[in-house]
Amino acid sequence: MLDINGVQSVIPRYWGYYYFANAGVNFSVVGVDIYDKAYSKTLDNLLQTPKLDKEGMVVGKGVREIFNQNYYNEYFNFVKSDGSLKRVDVIGVFDTNTNLESNDMIFMPKELVKEIFDMQTNYATDIVLEVPNKNEIPSIISKIKQIYPDSRVITQDDIRVSYQNIFDYKSGLFLSLFVIAIFTFFIIIYDRASGLSSHEKREIGILKALGWRIDDILAWKFYEAFIISFSAFLIALITSLFYVYILQAPLLRDIFSGYSILKPSFELPFTLDFGMLSIIFFLSVPIYLAAIIIPSWKIASSDVDEVIR
Amino acid sequence: MITFKNVNKIFANDFYALKDINFHIKQGELVLLKGASGSGKSTILSLLAGLSKPSSGEVVVFNKHISKLPDDFASLFRREHIGFIFQKFNLIENLSVKENIITPLIPSNLEESIIDQRCEALLKRFDIEEKRDVLVKKLSGGEQQRVVIARALINEPRIIIADEPTANLDEKLSQDFILYLKALKEEGKTIIVATHDNLFFDLDFIDKIIQMKKGVIL
């Protein structure tokens, strides 16, 4: 393939799924050259303890937990196709922040992957071609097809589209939930803003008759609405944190991470996005306050004698 | 003390709720506004309290032109001088007895200890001490009526306004209310009661009855 004009490099990749029967889960085993600069630099950023100074494997947090549950603390014995065992030391664990992606991953030298999966010397799981000039990609694909008719060529754009479809589907689901929530909220706001209930009007009338000024009534309404909306905001925040980090987001997590029950379970890393919290706060509390204060002001400013008769 | 001078109140479609009303009430008098529903009694009370303004004419209370007071000053005037007893009690259902009674004083700058002192005295006077923390919606009609009177007195007003105060009470409770009115009159309060309840009309402590029909004084 290197002889095809326009191809700058050809890199074989070695990876596969290893089924660990004891736990009933799959690990995604990826072979890398950890001494390759491109890999080692990236791995250093992803590891909790960035020390890849000996041969071994780097595992995700979920993999590490499953190892520990099965009394493998320092190493793991992989069962090869001939039934013999291959011991590989654990030399690093991926950082918790990468959990969503790295939870079921095992990175190890490609020679080990080939040995565990019993791959022949000149074989690879797939091959990556680097083509600097994008315009040459279609002609290179057709040349590969001519040389290897049973091969499947996937471009970077194909992969991107494929991932995009997955995320579009997931984000579409969340978007529809979000739109329903927003729609419900604005129905409530519209209902509040379009006029107070007869009970609330009566209450304002009573207070005014008892000598409350308009600003006294508005101050009371402000405190009342603020306590309600801010409490709702806090309750929603605490409930969602509880749902995600204590209950581990049942149902929604499956949608996000896929439905595979074969993958090791993982814990979502704790993050609190204050920017997002501010947006939610300013889109809810002040709007609710306005929806209460404005109609209250209208009622309090008008003659209330009709209301209290 | 209270003067209505050539007062008219006109609603939509040129409907005269009040037409050329003139009367004067002295300090300490108990005056009945008598008439059928729609005769204009409640409208007079509303104008007197500054809750609405006349279409023309003057309403003067304590030498102040109530009809010309801006809204906030009218509220202050009510807070200082007027106690309201409404036809349907108009208590705030989700508040306790004590909270309802002190409602008129919440926006005032009175010290909490003074408010508490006044409230306790009224709770005792109207025999509802035991119910101070009970939600008013859980009270009987008679108890609610006593809360309403206590609330009307918490700001130590000189004028008590009662709009059909016995309309929702049985005869026994109505008689009790009349006794409370008598006691308030003896304390020197000026009381104006709008009613068409016959129980009131033979009372010997009534100073004046203003008979109304279709917005005019007969």
Q: Would an 8 Å CB–CB cutoff place A32 in contact with chain B? A: no
Predicted TM-score of the model (pTM): 0.69
In a domain, A112, yes or no: yes
In a domain, A59, yes or no: yes
Residues of chain A contacting B76 with CB distance shorter than 8 Å: 211, 213
Average pLDDT over chain B, rounded to an integer: 90
In a domain, A1, yes or no: no
A140 and A213 inside one domain: no
| Nearest CB partner across the interface for A212, out of B52, B90, B107 | B107
Express each pLDDT in A205-250 by its tens digit.
899 989 999 999 999 999 999 999 999 999 999 999 999 888 888 8
In a domain, A198, yes or no: yes
Asked if A77 and A86 touch (Cβ cutoff 8 Å), the reply is: yes
A301 and A260 inside one domain: yes
Find the helix or strand (DSSP H, E) in which B119 lies.
helix B112-125
Sheet holding B190-195, edge to edge: B82-85, B159-163, B190-195, B30-34, B208-213, B216-217
Q: What are residue A266's phi and psi, to 5 degrees?
A: -135, 155
Query: What pLDDT is recorded for position A96?
Result: 73
DSSP conformation class of B103? G
Q: Which domain holds residue A59?
A: 9-153
Mutation for B interface: A210, A218, A299, most B CBs within 10 A: A210
Residues of chain B contacting A210 with CB distance shorter than 8 Å: 78-79, 84, 103-104, 151
The domain boundary, picked from A122, A153, A184, lies at A153
In a domain, A88, yes or no: yes
CA geometry: angle B49, B51, B52, nearest 5 deg: 115
Express each pLDDT in B112-161 by its tens digit.
999 999 999 999 999 899 999 999 999 988 899 899 999 999 999 999 99
Q: Which residues are within 8 A (CB) of A18 and not within 5 positions of it... i.e. 6 or more apart?
A: A26, A27, A29, A78, A106, A116, A117
CB atoms within 10 A of CB A183: 10
Q: Would an 8 Å CB–CB cutoff place A211 in contact with chain B? A: yes
Which residue numbers in chain A have pLDDT < 50?
Answer: none
Measured CA to CA, the distance from residue A114 to residue A158 in angstroms comes to 27
A149 and A120 inside one domain: yes
In a domain, A52, yes or no: yes
- Identify the residue whose tokens are 């004009």: A5
| Nearest CB partner across the interface for B52, out of A212, A214, A305 | A305
- β-pairing verdict for B216-217 and A105-109: unpaired
Cα dihedral B182, B188, B189, B194 sign = positive
A137 and A243 inside one domain: no
Strand-pair partners of B4: B23, B59
A24 and A143 inside one domain: yes
A148 and A73 inside one domain: yes
Residues of chain A contacting B163 with CB distance shorter than 8 Å: 309
A69 and A177 inside one domain: no
Q: What is the ipTM of this complex?
A: 0.89
Q: Would an 8 Å CB–CB cutoff place B35 in contact with chain A? A: no
Query: What pLDDT is recorded for position A95?
Result: 79
- Identify the residue whose tokens are 């919440």: B106
In a domain, A2, yes or no: no
A125 and A228 inside one domain: no
In a domain, A123, yes or no: yes
Verify whether the Cβ–Cβ distance A309 to B163 is below 8 Å: yes
A184 and A142 inside one domain: no
Query: What pLDDT is recorded for position A47?
Result: 65
Which residue numbers in chain B have pLDDT < 50?
Answer: none
Query: What pLDDT is recorded for position A41?
Result: 63
The domain boundary, picked from A119, A153, A187, lies at A153
The domain boundary, picked from A121, A153, A185, lies at A153
A99 and A56 inside one domain: yes
A143 and A244 inside one domain: no
Query: What pLDDT is recorded for position B103?
Result: 94
A23 and A132 inside one domain: yes
B32: helix, strand or coil:
strand
Query: What pLDDT is recorded for position A54?
Result: 63
Residue B163: both structure tokens together = 């709009």
| Nearest CB partner across the interface for B49, out of A207, A209, A216 | A209
> What is the domain count for chain A?
2
